Every structure is written in C-alpha cells, then in structure tokens.
Structure 1
Amino acid sequence: MPTSSMVKQNQSIMALLLLFLIFAISTEVEGTKLFVFGDSYVDTGNFLNSPSYKPPSGITFPGYPTGRLGNGRIITDYLASFLKIESPTPYALRNSSNLQNGINFAYGGTGIFKTLVDGPNLTVQIESFEQLIKQNVYSKSDVESSTFLVNAGANDYTTFILKNKNIFEIAKFMNSLVTEVMLSLTRINRLGAQKIVVSLLQPLGCLPTISVASLYVDCIDLINLVARDHNKKILANVEDLNKEVGKPVFRTLDLYNSFLSAIRTIQQNRKENSTLINPLEPCCALASVGYDCGKVDEKGQKKYTLCEKPELSFFWDNVHPSQNGWYSVFKQLESSLSQIIG
C-alpha cells in the first residue's frame, strides 16, 4: 500500500510534468513566426485569380497548383524550413488555416507603389498586419520574436519603364522608391518587429524576358545596373536605419549575388555537360504573344509549351525561378542565413 507521503510525492511529480507540458506547448505556439510582404517571388497563395492556381503551376511539387508562381517550392518555403517552421499561411486563406507559423501578405504582381496588377501594395499589406495586431491575433511577444521578410521593387521598375518609357528619369524614381521602402521598414519596426529582412533586387537583366535579347546566352548587364544601383541605396539606407535604432534590426537578403552565382555555376557546368538546361531559358515558354504560362484559349488549347524536365530548369517562366532555381539560390544564401534570419 502506498503511503500518504508517496502519494503526495507522485502528485508533485505529476504537477511538475503537467507544468513542463504546458510550457512546451506554449513555447511551440509562441515560437518564431515568419511574416512576409511583397510580390510573387514570395507569395504562396494570395493571388487567387492568377496562373499560380492553374496547371502547370506546382507540377514538380506537390503535383498540383498551390498558389505559387512556379513549378514547386519558392524561396519563402526554403526560408521557413530553415527556421524549422511550416510556410506561413497566405493572408487570403487566413480563416481556414492555423496561424501559428505567421502570415504571408505578399501578392503577386504588386510593388511598393501602384503597379500594373490591381492588388494590395506594400503599404496596404502592412496595414493588414496592423489590423491583426489590433484584433489581438498576434501578441507583442509574437511580433518581437518573429522574422519579417520584405521583397518588392521589381514590379515597380517594370511599371515605370512601361508607363514612362524614359529610362533617363529612372534615377529620380529609384530615390523615391528606396525612400518608400525605408518608411515601410520603419513602420514594421514601430509595430515591435526586431528582425526585419529586406531582399536586394535580383539581377533583372538575367530574367528570360530580358535575356532573350541575347538569345538566352547571357544576362543584359545594362539592366542589371539598375538592380545594382537600387541595391547600393538599400544597403546604405539599411545601415543608417540600424545606426538610428542602435542595433541590427534591419538586415538584407542578397538575391542579386546569389542569383548570379547560381546561374554562373550552372553555365560553367554546361561547358562540361551540354545536356544540362540553359539556366537563362524559361521552362514554361509562351506559344503566342499575349499569353501567360498556364493560359489556354477559348477551345481549351494550351498557349504555352513545357521543357522536358521542369525539375532541372532554373527559370520556370519569363520572370520566376523554378523550384530548382530557388533551391540553387537558397543554397547560395544558406551559409549566411543564421546571421540574417536565424
């Protein structure tokens, strides 16, 4: 027969185990979250009425469209995996999913200012996040312990060039764009965020829609110059912001050099193995002008063609990397990520 002291001892042990369990659960719920703002490079499902929800998107993974503009995982998924969490729920699907990993507000085609796509720009996306804080969906500790990713700008330059058709005014536009980015980062910081990562622009001259001018042989450096100048201004302004707050709250994710390194590595390997896919060539190519990857005509005929091995391509379409492309970029970034988002 157990004595009363033994019973009390067992009760104490059970109470301690219960407290430990509660602590473990609360730690999991209150752990690192990822909040994402920006465009299609990081959007995992907010652009509901787009090719991201139509075949052949998602053909490599998971085998069907998931709202990502590509054939599978994108950089958001790899960064979330690095943080050991699932990809954050798209804001458009917030009522049907759990929110413990954060929220993705990014919307394909949008930018810092108004673009050619009628969707929520960066300012509106941040406002949506503010509303969730006011509704107590996320606590102060949630915000302080989370990582915030901002990836925007490429669509703004595209819109500017198509509307203004005057590349000589791009320097003035660049200054206003970078100023607005800094205001957005500061706004996120004032909401309590202590780890804010802004992407540097990818090498725009390497996108198939541009590199087609070289017959996909090389990147167009004149266009890459725009991205380099933009990135220099971002880096300088981020440094100034960190000096103002007195600690490294603001960090940068170097998509520019990671893209270039990944592309050049594949190009070098192709010299030894010509069967490898040209990294500058899109896998999902348009069969007719005016159609996007995934579009069909009124008879249901596909207006695009697919490469033989989408899983080995670097670019999925004229603008977006494939899953393999994003993985290659991620591997270039991986060694520095513990300092950036870890």
Structure 2
Amino acid sequence: MIMLWLPAAVSLLLSSSLHVAGDAGGGAASLSVRRYDAIFSFGDSLADTGNNPVVFDWYSIFDPVTRPPYGSTFFGRPTGRNCDGRLVLDFVAERLGLPLVPPFLAYNGSFRHGANFAVGAATALDSSFFHGAGDPPGASPFPLNTSLSVQLSWFDSLKPSLCSTTQECKDFFGRSLFFVGEFGINDYHSSFGRRSMQEIRSFVPDIIRTISMAIEKLIGDGATTVVVPGMIPSGCSPPVLVTFADAGAAEYDASTGCLREPNEVATLHNSLLLDAVEELREKHPDVAIVHTDLFRHVSEMVQNPDKFGKQK
C-alpha cells in the first residue's frame, strides 16, 4: 500500500522542486543562488517541526507523532514532526546553511534565523467556519484554531524581537525565505464525508483568497521570496480513502487507485492558486513567488513508485 509513505513523498519531492525551481517562474531560480539569513514557515503537518504537541496539549496523548517510530531515523526521538526523520523544511535549511527552523511554540531560544509557525491539521480558514452554532454537545473540537490567520498573528507577535522600525523589518525579512504552507489540505479533508462535494468546491475560492491575502501581508512586511506549495492529490491520501471506503469502483482512477472527486477538488484548488500566484507576480515583479506543483510530483510517485525505491 504505497499511500502509507505519502508524507515522506511530499517532503522529498517538494525539496527536489525547490532545487530545480528555475522553471517555476517569478524569480524562482534565485532560490539556488541567493543567500538567506532566516526561514519563516507557515503551514500544516507537512511543515510542523514541533508546534503540534503544544497546541494539542493533552490531546497529544493520542497523537502518534509524540511516540516512536516518529523521529527514529535522524533525531533518535519523537520531535513532533509527522515523519520518522526530517521534513522538507529541514532539508532546505541545511541546504542554505541555516539551523533547523525552530517551532515557535516549543522553543525558548533566538529566532534570528527564523521560526516555524506550522501546526499539524492547520486550516486556511478559521476554525469557526467548521464549527457551526448548531454543533451538538460533545462535538469534536477539531480542527483547532491554528489557521493561517492565527499563525500570522504569532508572526506579528515575534516581529518586535527581530526588528524595531518598518525599514529595519523590510531589510530583515527581505533577506529571509518564506513558506506559505500547503494550506487547504485540512480544510477539504476535514469536510470530506461531512459536506457535499458541491459545497466543498464552493469554498475553494475563499481558501485561495485567504492564502493570497497572507502572501500580500508578508510582502508588505518585507518578504522578497515566498514559496507557495499547491495541493497534494487528495484522492490518494489514506484518510480520504478510508472516509470513502464504500466508494464504487467507478469512483477510483484505475491507473492510481486514487479517488476521482477529491482529486478534482485539489485540481480546482491548484488552478485557482496558480492564477492567484500569477496575479501576485504581476503586482509585485520584484518579489520571487515560487509555486511548487505537489499534485504532479506526488502523482508521479504514486504511479511510478519503483523510480523512488518504493513498491506497491
């Protein structure tokens, strides 16, 4: 069952994408030659380096990332990463000669070389969108409010310790590399099985708008290089496959074993995200906005696992 190593696949392929990102447009080629003093990351479990256990508090008892074998192949212990070793953010930091990016909520040292605000299960939209006034007593508290806007507020709270004037901040963040997550994954995945596909498609533009506004905000703060990953093929994700375990044969792609409709949602997201990225590039020609196509890369790994040393 090749889907079990999907998170590792995403990390591997996103890392590869960044090193050959010259074809991604928006000044992407500069990633391989520029010198960065810091990395700031916003996102979900694909980027979380340790915020998860802090946010989830006692719920972390049930979270496997706090127990072996997570962290076993590199750190020798669980670190809160959704991986047995390093994430793409770790490899990028190492490639740039920077320290591993510390989790903002679980680190007491200096953030002069960057901070990671990503939290496992984070959504683009605020949690209130997913919790209606009519929720029954005892309804699930998830997703918790670790949305993109919340992560941006954490970033804002950190800024005074890094720079004291507008120009000083622009200079500092202009020498930093920013990652704006894989936002949208948890918005959709937490809605599958609870809302109709039509309803889920209807809030895709809201998610794209939220991501675009976040990028605009960071550019206003001084960011000159922003990496914006697209959606993975949701229909290939193990939790989504389990959610739709009763789906008929016609609902699967015969070449991959992935579900068609969730992948169509991801495709719509990626199309609108790329349009938004192009608009931002036109508006900010001096900013390198790098879009990474996770859907294409992960789909390739799913279809050709032998190329990556894996078996079906």
Both structures adopt the same fold (TM-score exceeding 0.5): yes
Residue 168 (structure 1) aligned to one of 179, 187, 198 = 198
Distance in 1 between the 2:174 and 2:293 partners?
A: 23
* C-alpha RMSD of the superposition: 2.5
Residue of structure 2 equivalent to 1:91: 104
TM-score by length of 2: 0.70
Runs of 4+ deviating beyond 4 Å: 211-217, 267-270
The 8 Å contact of residues 41 and 178 in structure 2, kept in 1 or not, is answered as yes
- CA displacement at 1:157 relative to structure 2: 0.8
Distance in 1 between the 2:80 and 2:308 partners?
A: 32
Distance in 2 between the 1:196 and 1:267 partners?
A: 32
- CA displacement at 1:144 relative to structure 2: 0.8
Residue of structure 2 equivalent to 1:253: 292
Q: 3-state DSSP class of the match of 2:227?
A: strand
Distance in 2 between the 1:247 and 1:144 partners?
A: 11
Structure number with greater Rg is 1
Structure 2 unaligned segments of length 5 or more: list them.
1-34, 54-59, 131-141, 246-251
Distance in 1 between the 2:121 and 2:274 partners?
A: 24
Note closer, same or farther for the CA distance 1:245–1:71 as it changes in structure 2 (3 Å cut): same
TM-score by length of 1: 0.65
Residue 116 (structure 2) aligned to one of 104, 111, 118 = 104
Higher relative contact order, chain-length normalized (CA < 8 Å, sep 6+): 2
Amino acid at match of 1:263: V
The 8 Å contact of residues 109 and 119 in structure 1, kept in 2 or not, is answered as no
- CA displacement at 1:65 relative to structure 2: 0.4
Q: Among all aligned residue pairs of Structure 1 and Structure 2, give the percentage whose two residues are the same amino acid.
A: 29
Residue of structure 2 equivalent to 1:155: 186
Residue of structure 2 equivalent to 1:53: 66
List aligned pairs for 1:127-206, cutoff 5 A: 127-136=153-162, 139-140=168-169, 141-151=171-181, 152-163=183-194, 165-206=195-236
Distance in 1 between the 2:184 and 2:268 partners?
A: 13
Residue of structure 2 equivalent to 1:264: 303
The 8 Å contact of residues 148 and 193 in structure 1, kept in 2 or not, is answered as yes
- CA displacement at 1:137 relative to structure 2: 5.6
Residue 69 (1) aligns with residue 95 (2): no
Note closer, same or farther for the CA distance 1:197–1:98 as it changes in structure 2 (3 Å cut): same
Residue of structure 1 equivalent to 2:152: 126
Distance in 2 between the 1:100 and 1:269 partners?
A: 36
- CA displacement at 1:104 relative to structure 2: 0.3
Residue of structure 1 equivalent to 2:270: 231
Distance in 1 between the 2:71 and 2:255 partners?
A: 24
Distance in 1 between the 2:78 and 2:293 partners?
A: 28
The 8 Å contact of residues 208 and 216 in structure 1, kept in 2 or not, is answered as no
Residue of structure 1 equivalent to 2:13: none
What does the per-residue CA deviation read over 1:69-97, in whole Å, with 9 as the maximum and x for residues that have no partner?
121111211222232222211001231x3
